[in-house]
Amino acid sequence: MSEAAPKPEELVQINYDPPRRDWRDAHVDYRKGTFCYSAAAKNLQYLDLPNPRDWQPFDKDWKLPPNWRETILQGMKERLDKFRSFRLFMDICVRCGACADKCHFFLGSADPKNMPVLRAELLRSVYRRYFTLSGRIFRGLAGGRELTEDVLKEWFYYFYQCTECRRCSVFCPFGIDTAEITMMVRELLNLVGVNTNWVLEPAANCFRTGNHLGIQPHGFKDSIDFAVDELEEITGIRVEAPINRKGAEILFIVPSADYFGTPHYYTLLGYLMLFHEIGLDYTFSAYASEGGNFGLFSSHEMMKRLNAKMYAEAQRLGVKWILGGECGHMWRVVHQYMNTMNGPADFLEEPVSPITGTRFENADATKMVHICEFTSDLIHNNKLKLDPRRNDHWKVTFHDSCNPARAMGLLEEPRYILRNVSNQFYEMPENTIREQTFCCGSGAGLGTDENIEMRLRGGLPRANAVKHVRDKHGVNLLTCICAIDKATLPTALEYWTPGVEVGGIHELVGNALVMKGEQERTTDLRGEPLHQKEAAVHA
């Protein structure tokens, strides 16, 4: 946070009643802390994207190509013909306003253009003006708006103030999904070289090295080896963590933050312990060393380009199926896009758990299983020896990450695991969890420091629900299954709800897992001392 950061009380001096100012006025004030910086030219060049140049959103001149308006309108026309969702969502909104106060950015900022309906109208007004008969004739009277440079700048501001979390889509009587609209606008902006570095640098890194962080293969190996060493200290057991091993049964893919970020890292330790304990025949890949996909936040094409590595690597290594770690938008891509984009994966087999024999029929075609599905099946079949008391220092709540909740329906699996590895699990209020869960406020490529004010505003509804269980039950750990959550919620919670840490489900699995031949555990995976006295009493 910069030194001029406002206090929480100051940040919520907001009023949900919109101002008198007409929303059709497109002018945006690019205020520090509320937007992301532009993408560096080198990243555009690496990815063969148009119009690489030096510019910033607060510049007056964005150095757009001379024919930018035609390019955008032509791009709209193409996408209206290619995506039924796009055309339909442009046509059928009745502006009932049910979505208005469902967006975390509206709830935290009270900016009326953060009401999902109005965010969509920013594009819809241009659609009406150029693509409908009534709009071409009656212009403003039919709700149309000219496409000006100010409108383009307004798009950039507000469509990078949407985390594609899909909460509004749950409440919309027609299922209009703002994520879909945001994806369209970001694609359009990409056509004229208007994009953010926080999205395109990870994308360029991922394209080159295999992961968002740009870690090269030997660096990847170092990280994994380091984790193996550290685990030996904690448990006394040296686990295997193979990389690029041909002939393994399962390819395991995690978001890169798991091996390079905190608190993600403790989740990685949990995976490694689990796989050792059940004797899983698996391998990591340094080529497919990223589960996440920032292409999703850029364009469908970029999503496909980055995602292609998963199946390609599974085929090269000759595995039977793929297992995926804790990550939110990764699972949106895997569950709803991967097979369509880069399948069919007919070189793989139907996923079967080698430990329990369970067939994961729900992953029959895509051939990729979520780690929470895998682990909850192990627990259900009594394959793990768990001591939940080793997590007694944590009072736990579970934050449903947007994509596993609203694009997969992965709701019970993580809860089932939690109930088995923790004695103290408390749910947040029901309109803030499961399909109604609130975004961390930093998803879809917005989690950068220069955007901190907007991130904190967007994080308010989630943090507020955490505060409720913190004050009521003494909750001190928020668990989640998303790398962006783990990276950004610590900041949001520290600001709004101090005293609550963030961790992964498999971190707690690792803590609770009783391993054969392990030394007596004196600390948890974070190196925090365990409450031995309590444990002794319970024993």
Partner 1 sequence: MKPGAGSHCWKEFIQTLRDGDEFLSALTSLILIVVAAGLAFAGGGAYSSRVLLGVILPYAAMAAFLAGIVYRVLKWAAAPVPFHIPTTCGQQNSLPWIKSSWIESPHTRLGVAVRMALEILLFRSLFRNSRAQLREGPRLLYVENKWLWLGALAFHWSMLIIVLRHLRYFVVPVPRFILGMDAVDGFFQIGAPQLLLTDVIIVAALLFLLQRRLTNPQVRYISLFSDYLALFLLLGIAVSGILMRYFFKVDLEGIKQLAVGLVTFSPIVPADIGPLFFVHLALVSFLLAYFPFSKLVHMGGIFLSPTRNLANDSRMLRHVNPWDYPVKVHTYQEWEKEFHDKMKAAGMPLERE
The two structure tokens encoding residue 6: 């406002």
Number of residues that bind partner 1 (CB under 8 A): 124
Encoded tokens for 77: 């026309």
Stretch that binds partner 1, among 66-74, 98-106, 257-265, 510-518 (CB under 8 A): 98-106
Rounded to 5 degrees, φ, ψ at 224 are: -65, -40
Residue 327 near partner 1 by CB under 8 A: no
DSSP conformation letters of 449-506: GGGHHHHHHHHHHHHHHHHHHHHHH---EEEES-HHHHHHHHHHHHHHSTT-EEEEHH
Quick one: 431 or 519, whose CB is closer to partner 1? 431
Which residues, including other chains, have CB under 8 Å from residue 438's CB and lie 6 or more apart? Answer: 104, 165, 167, 432, 461, 462, 465
Is there binding between residue 278 and partner 1 (CB under 8 A)?
no
Burial 212-233 (b: 16+ CB within 10 A, else e): bbebebebbbebbeebbebbee
Binding of partner 1 at residue 146 (CB under 8 A)? no
Do the Cβ atoms of 278 and 383 come closer than 8 Å? yes
Interface with partner 1 (CB under 8 A), residue from 100, 203, 439, 483: 100
**Is residue 158 near partner 1 by the rule CB under 8 A?**
no
Nearest approach in angstroms of CB 446 to partner 1 is 20
Q: Which of 56, 134, 523, 532 binds partner 1 (CB under 8 A)?
A: 134
Min. distance of Cβ 417 from partner 1 in angstroms? Answer: 12
- Is the Cβ–Cβ distance between 129 and 138 less than 8 Å? no
Question: Which of these segments, 21-29, 55-63, 227-235, 260-268, binds partner 1 (CB under 8 A)?
Answer: 21-29
**Site for partner 1, residues 402 to 431, rule: CB under 8 A:** 405-413, 416, 429, 431
Shortest Å distance, C-beta 408 to partner 1: 6
CB of 349 to partner 1, least distance (A): 14
293: CB partners within 8 A, 6+ apart: 206, 303, 306, 307, 329, 330, 333
Minimum distance from CB of 390 to partner 1 (Å)? Answer: 25
48: region left, alpha or beta (phi > 0 left; psi from -120 to 50 alpha): left
Q: How far is the CB of 309 from partner 1 (least distance, A)?
A: 7
Contact between 290 and partner 1 per CB under 8 A: no
Task: Kindly state whether residue 16 participates in binding partner 1, applying the rule CB under 8 A.
Answer: yes
CB of 312 to partner 1, least distance (A): 6
**Smallest separation (angstroms) from partner 1 to the CB of 5:** 16
Select the residue interacting with partner 1 from 62, 360, 398, 425 (CB under 8 A): 360
Cross-strand bridge partners of residue 243: 284
Confirm or reject binding of residue 400 to partner 1 (CB under 8 A). no
Residues facing 369 on adjacent strands: 323
CB of 286 to partner 1, least distance (A): 7
Please state the closest distance from residue 531 (CB atom) to partner 1, in A: 32
> In angstroms, rounded to a whole number, what is the distance separating the alpha carbons of residues 186 and 39?
13
d(CA 358, CA 175): 34
Q: What angle do CA 479, 483, 486 make, to 5 degrees?
A: 45
Residue with tokens 């949407």: 162
**From the list 157, 160, 171, 297, which residue makes contact with partner 1 (rule: CB under 8 A)?**
171
By CB under 8 A, is residue 349 in contact with partner 1?
A: no
Q: At what angle do helices 84-91 and 68-82 cross, to 10 degrees?
A: 100
Which residue, 234 or 314, is less far from partner 1 as judged by CB? Answer: 314
Q: Of these, 94, 150, 233, 523, which contacts partner 1 (CB under 8 A)?
A: 94
Please tell me whether residue 91 binds partner 1 under the rule CB under 8 A.
Answer: yes
Binds partner 1 by CB under 8 A, chosen from 298, 366, 437, 479:
366
* 397 vs 377: CA distance, rounded Å: 21
Binders in 473-532 for partner 1, by CB under 8 A: none
| Beta carbon nearer to partner 1, 316 or 383 | 316
393 counts as binding partner 1 under rule CB under 8 A: no
x/- binding map, residues 220-259, to partner 1, per CB under 8 A?
A: -xx--------------------xxxx-------------
Closest residue by Cα to residue 205 from 133, 290, 269? 290
Stretch that binds partner 1, among 259-267, 355-363, 418-426, 484-492 (CB under 8 A): 355-363
Site for partner 1 in 429-458 (CB under 8 A): 429, 431-432, 434-436
How remote is the C-alpha of 44 from its chain's centroid?
22
Between 42 and 246, name the residue whose CB sits nearer to partner 1.
Answer: 246
Question: Does residue 85 bind partner 1 (CB under 8 A)?
Answer: yes
Name the one range near partner 1 by CB under 8 A: 83-91, 256-264, 384-392, 519-527.
83-91
Q: In Å, how far from its chain's centre is CA 532?
A: 36
- Could you say whether residue 321 binds partner 1 (CB under 8 A)? no
Is 335 an interacting residue with respect to partner 1 (CB under 8 A)? yes
Query: For residue 480, which phi and psi values (nearest 5 degrees)?
Result: -160, 165
Q: Which is nearer to partner 1, 266 or 287 (CB)?
A: 287
Q: Does residue 340 bind partner 1 (CB under 8 A)?
A: yes
Environment class of residue 240 by beta-carbon count within 10 Å: exposed (0-12), middle (13-18) or buried (19+)? middle
The enclosing H or E element of 184 equals helix 178-191
Show contacts with partner 1 in window 199-218 (CB under 8 A): 207-210, 216-218
Q: What share of the chain is helix, strand, coil (3-state, %, to 5)?
A: 55, 5, 40
